[in-house]
Structures are given as C-alpha cells and as structure tokens.
C-alpha cells in the first residue's frame, strides 16, 4: 500500500487580504484535502493558528460582521516606541478564540515565521506560547511595536519569508500548497490615498497632525507609503524565494480590489479564497491523490 504523502499549507502575508486564507482552508477541507501541517507568515500565522486550534469557524463568524467601529475598539495607540499600535487589545481579544495556550497543544503541527530586527535573520516559532509567535509574526514595522521574545526583538516575518514554503518543508511536508496574497497590486481605480480602511483613518489623523506642525501637505499618507512599500518588497522576495524553492502548487486569489487595510471586506476576501480553490480543483485533487 502506497504511503500517503503529507500535505503542508503555507499561508502568506497580506494584512486584510488574509481573510482569503479562511476561504482557501474551507474549500480545501470541503474537497477532502487533509492538511498535515501549517506554516504562516503575518496574517497567515493568525489564520493558520486558528485552524490548527480548531476555532477558525468561530473567528470567521466574527470577521464577517467586522466593521470600522468594531476594529477601532481593538486599536491601542502607542505614542512612544517602535510602532503606532501596541497590539495588546488585539492579542487579548484573540485569546477568546483559544489562542492563549501553547503551540504543542494545537491539533495539527503549526509554525510561524518572524524576523529578528537586529540581525535580519528569519526566525521559526514552532514551540512554546502561541500568542508571542502570532504577535511577532504580525508586527508590521512602523505600525505595530516590535515584540521582545526570547531575548530578541521580533517583527513581521514578511520581511524575510512572506510565503513560508521552506518552513512547511522543514516541518515534514512532502507536498506544499502555498497561498500568495500579494501577487496582484491594488487595482487602478483604488488610489494609494484611499482612506476607507481603519488603519488609513489612523494614517489620515497622523498626516493632519504633521500638517499642523510642519506645514506638510503633499503626497500619499504615512500608512499608504508604509504598506505599499512593504507589499512591493514582499512580492519581490516571494518571487525570488519561490524560484529557488517553489511550492508544489501555489494558489493566487484575485484580490486587487482589496487594499491591505480593508479588514471590513471579509466576505469578499473569503469568497475569493474559496473561488481560488475551485479554479484549481483538478490540480489540487491530482496533487494530493484524490482524483
């Protein structure tokens, strides 16, 4: 009897576009794909941990009713330090979905990727407390404060490995299905100065303050420059790393209509995640031996 190959899922970074990961996982499960391990970067680490914990369905119900007002209640501004948001409120809220335990307690193997701020090295978080692993991986530089964890200052894993295919393989996956959220730039009718998202509202307030103090009034806002720059960088890093260590199958949801701060567009992102799997259905089934 042929031994079943282990399937790993590599969930990439992408801020609000990460809600598409929920749809991808739902659709894969519906196809009968057994996911043996999950590696996540940034928002991918959060969704991956929720799936590994078994609370993704409950989290999906919450994000589907998420709006800017509810999001604003989870934002704790940080006037000093290395980021605009401390993240304490957000992480305390995530505990309601069972993420306050250890990685070893999860139902399936899980790892998150972060970046050592001092050395630039990639850090794999695969044991110990789950919350610091997630918090480190989502610490977008300039937005969230870095996290001090195990004698290191850690920031977003997207700086070094936006789609952690290599981490998935190191976890023992024979086959890796990767999800790349940053392949498409924002569509032409959405400008970088679009202020529809919660974090862009925060950026707008910051820009207004700078205008009063410095008289500055030209160009895109702080958050727009930050996120667009990082997204471009992550797309280039993803392409370079995938060239040397490609996934067995890469899923690319069409998310050009969703900006990185559009956390209130969960329904659209989740739907596209499911549609992405549907488009690749035959390739997926053939890959995992279910055809």
- Structural contact between residues 280 and 28, judged by C-beta atoms closer than 8 angstroms: no
pLDDT value, residue 285: 97
Say how many C-beta atoms besides its own lie within 10 A of residue 151's C-beta. Answer: 5
Residue 31 has pLDDT above 80, yes or no: yes
pLDDT value, residue 204: 54
**Highest mean pLDDT (candidates 2-6, 158-162, 211-215):** 158-162
The mean per-residue pLDDT over the stretch 34-63 comes to: 98
* Cβ within 8 Å of residue 19, ≥6 positions away: 47, 63, 263, 265, 266, 269, 270, 273
pLDDT value, residue 213: 52
Local confidence band at 195 (pLDDT 50, 70, 90 cut-offs): very low
The average confidence (pLDDT) of the chain is 88
Residue 132 has pLDDT above 80, yes or no: yes
- Structural contact between residues 219 and 192, judged by C-beta atoms closer than 8 angstroms: no
Best CA proximity match to 44, nearest among 174, 210, 234? 234
* Cβ within 8 Å of residue 73, ≥6 positions away: 89
Catalytic site positions: 42, 156
**24 compared with 235, residue with greater pLDDT:** 24
What pLDDT digit, counting tens, does each position of 202-222 carry? Answer: 555 555 554 555 455 566 776
Residue 77 has pLDDT above 90, yes or no: no
Residue 155 has pLDDT above 60, yes or no: yes
Domain residue spans of the chain: 7-189+234-288
How far apart (Å, rounded) are the C-alpha atoms in residues 236 and 159? 11
Residue 21 has pLDDT above 80, yes or no: yes
pLDDT value, residue 198: 47
CATH number of the 7-189+234-288 domain: 3.40.1090.10
What pLDDT digit, counting tens, does each position of 222-265 carry? Answer: 667 777 788 888 888 998 898 888 999 999 999 988 988 889 99
pLDDT value, residue 73: 84
Alpha helices in 12-73 (DSSP H): 19-31, 43-53, 56-63, 68-72
């Amino acid at each position: 009897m042929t031994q079943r190959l282990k399937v790993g899922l590599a969930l990439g970074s992408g801020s609000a576009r990460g809600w598409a990961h929920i749809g991808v996982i739902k659709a894969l499960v519906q196809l009968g794909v057994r996911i043996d391990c999950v590696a996540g970067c940034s928002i991918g680490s959060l969704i991956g941990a929720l799936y590994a914990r078994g609370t993704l369905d409950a989290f999906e119900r919450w994000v589907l009713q998420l709006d800017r007002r509810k999001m604003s209640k989870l934002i704790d501004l940080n006037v000093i330090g290395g980021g605009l948001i401390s993240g304490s409120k957000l992480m305390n809220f995530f505990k309601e979905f069972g993420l306050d335990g250890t990685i070893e307690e999860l139902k399936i193997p899980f790892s998150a990727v972060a970046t050592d701020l001092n050395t630039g090295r990639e850090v794999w978080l695969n044991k110990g407390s789950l919350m610091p692993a997630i918090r480190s991986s989502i610490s977008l530089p300039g937005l969230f404060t870095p996290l001090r964890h195990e004698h290191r200052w850690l920031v977003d894993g997207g700086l070094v490995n936006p789609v952690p295919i290599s981490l998935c393989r190191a976890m023992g996956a024979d086959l890796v299905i990767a999800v790349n959220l940053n392949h498409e730039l924002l569509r032409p009718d959405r400008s970088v100065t679009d202020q529809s998202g919660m974090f862009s509202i925060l950026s707008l307030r910051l820009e207004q303050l700078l205008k009063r103090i410095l008289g500055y009034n030209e160009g895109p806002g702080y958050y727009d420059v930050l996120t667009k720059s990082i997204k471009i960088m992550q797309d280039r890093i993803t392409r370079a790393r995938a060239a040397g260590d490609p996934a067995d199958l890469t899923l690319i949801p069409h998310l050009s209509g969703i900006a990185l701060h559009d956390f209130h567009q969960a329904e659209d992102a989740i739907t596209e995640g499911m549609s992405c799997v549907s488009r690749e259905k035959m390739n997926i089934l053939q890959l995992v031996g279910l055809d």
